[in-house]
């Protein structure tokens, strides 16, 4: 796949960058390309990410405030239980702007950027390296779908474990509102306050559902590779991103694979969000004991228990709460991320090849 002709040529790049790139290995190129792709998609879809988090979290916050000792909060929670605050993507975005102004749409942008960059940097580097290694194994050569699935799970495990704390902070910041039991001034304040009040392990809340979510990438990326092949995105002699509808075909491949994976795995995201927004205050929901003495129990403990509680208290529809918003957010995000990765990585490899040829010449 050749780089898009809209990119500047190799001679327009700083000499130091060209020298660095000439000596870089392919894993480094994939890591940098993944980080840049994550940054671009993070900025583009932040408002939809905020809306999705608000929709997913509102049921848990209503349950929390119903048990509040503050009569005003309890009354508001009872009213909200009958008339939810957030309705669909447009209504949610309007409510956010009305309450917090346009800046509210980018609440949590810093942790999103801090999350997307390392997440995709680790993911793409591990995915491409693992995929290339597995493709060299003769017994897996005829089972491309299996090798792509294994590569996706390996890369997803590494990126999920290493970046889970960032996503916990992001979820707290995005779900924050006038009636939430936490009021953070920013990312650093959130980190300090969460650590002081809830301990180090709060940053790994929701890790179980997040790892369960590897099913998502195990479905998405093999399908993406398959759709790329069907749409001839990698066909020799027909792979110029600036010609033959290659960019539209990549967008289609990424969108179709994302929609298929999301429709199957979305419920785990709802479960993960509920587990992540728990605080010390939430621990008093099912007990009269003082949480400061360490005797209170978390309401949501484990994937299966959380699933049962949500099903019993809010019905099966809760597992697809915000799903439409999620698709509107994640499908464009997936297209932006994957197409950006393809463009940037091929562009960097093209510069590397030209620089190395110039050195030889």
Strongest mean pLDDT among 3-17, 141-155, 281-295? 141-155
pLDDT at position 62: 56
Q: Chain-centre distance of CA 201, in angstroms?
A: 20
Cβ–Cβ under 8 Å, residues 104 and 86: no
For the segment 161-167, the average pLDDT, to the nearest whole number, is 90
SS (H, E, C) 224-239: HHHHHHHCCCCCCCCC
Taking the C-alpha atoms of residue 100 and residue 50, their distance in angstroms, rounded to an integer, is: 12
- Closest C-alpha among 240, 231, 230 to residue 343: 240
pLDDT class for 287, splitting at 50, 70, 90? Answer: very low
Percent of the chain exceeding pLDDT 90 equals 30
Cβ–Cβ under 8 Å, residues 120 and 155: no
Lowest mean pLDDT: which of 298-302, 346-350, 354-358? Answer: 298-302
What domains can be seen in the chain, in order of their start residue? 10-276+306-360 (1.50.40.10)
Cβ-count burial of 300 within 10 angstroms (0-12 exposed, 13-18 middle, 19+ buried)? buried
For the segment 34-40, the average pLDDT, to the nearest whole number, is 92
- Residue 249: is its pLDDT beyond 70? yes
pLDDT at position 155: 96
pLDDT digit string (tens) for 174-228? 777 777 777 888 889 999 999 999 899 999 988 887 888 799 999 999 999 999 9
Asked whether the whole model's pTM tops 0.75, one would answer no
């Amino acid at each position: 796949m050749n780089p898009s002709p809209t990119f500047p040529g190799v001679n327009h790049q700083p000499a130091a960058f060209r020298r660095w790139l000439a000596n870089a290995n392919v894993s480094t190129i994939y890591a940098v390309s993944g980080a840049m792709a994550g940054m671009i998609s993070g900025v583009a879809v932040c408002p939809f990410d905020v809306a999705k988090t608000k929709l997913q979290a509102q049921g848990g916050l209503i349950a929390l405030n119903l048990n509040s000792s503050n009569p005003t909060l309890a009354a508001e929670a009872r009213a909200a239980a009958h008339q939810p605050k957030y309705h669909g993507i447009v209504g949610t975005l309007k409510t956010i702007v009305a309450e917090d102004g346009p800046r509210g749409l980018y609440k949590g942008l810093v942790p999103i950027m801090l999350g997307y960059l390392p997440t995709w940097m680790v993911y793409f580097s591990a995915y491409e390296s693992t995929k290339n290694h597995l493709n060299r194994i003769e017994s897996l050569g005829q089972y491309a779908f299996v090798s792509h699935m294994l590569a996706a799970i390996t890369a997803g495990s590494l990126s999920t474990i290493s970046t889970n704390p960032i996503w916990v902070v992001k979820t707290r910041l995005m779900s924050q509102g006038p009636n939430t039991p936490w009021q953070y001034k920013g990312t650093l304040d959130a980190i300090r306050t969460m650590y002081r009040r809830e301990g180090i392990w709060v940053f790994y809340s929701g890790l179980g559902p997040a790892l369960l979510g590897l099913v998502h990438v195990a479905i998405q990326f093999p399908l993406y590779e398959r759709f790329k092949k069907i749409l001839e995105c990698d066909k020799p002699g027909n792979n110029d991103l600036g010609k033959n509808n290659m960019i539209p075909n990549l967008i289609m491949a990424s969108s179709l694979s994302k929609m298929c994976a999301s429709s199957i795995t979305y419920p785990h995201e709802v479960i993960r969000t509920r587990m992540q927004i728990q605080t010390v205050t939430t621990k008093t929901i099912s007990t009269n004991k003082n949480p400061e003495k360490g005797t209170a129990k978390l309401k949501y403990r484990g994937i299966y228990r959380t699933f049962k509680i949500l099903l019993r208290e809010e019905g099966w529809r809760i597992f697809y709460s915000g799903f439409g918003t999620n698709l509107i957010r994640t499908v464009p995000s997936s297209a932006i991320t994957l197409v950006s990765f393809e463009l940037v990585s091929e562009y960097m490899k093209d510069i590397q090849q030209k620089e190395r040829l110039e050195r030889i010449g």
